[in-house]
Amino acid sequence: MDTLIIVGLGISALVALAIGANDLANSIAPVVGSKILSYKYALLLFFISLSLGALLQG
């Protein structure tokens, strides 16, 4: 039973990261497209935002 809970939490975390990455990519794309940020800085912002969102909001 404990294994099932751990596997379920792991799958839930992966789905949450995938949904968050999709939503974040939709908001970062116009910034890169309009050349406000370079691709390098947009990726840095993307990974920081995604990691903090996943860690702080669960």
- pLDDT at position 23 is 77
Using CA atoms, how far apart are residues 49 and 24, in angstroms rounded to an integer? 8
Using CA atoms, how far apart are residues 41 and 51, in angstroms rounded to an integer? 15
For the chain, 58 residues long, give each residue's pLDDT as a single digit of tens.
799 999 998 998 888 777 877 777 788 889 889 999 898 998 898 888 878 877 787 6
- pLDDT at position 58 is 60
SS3 content of the chain, % helix, strand, coil (to 5): 90, 0, 10
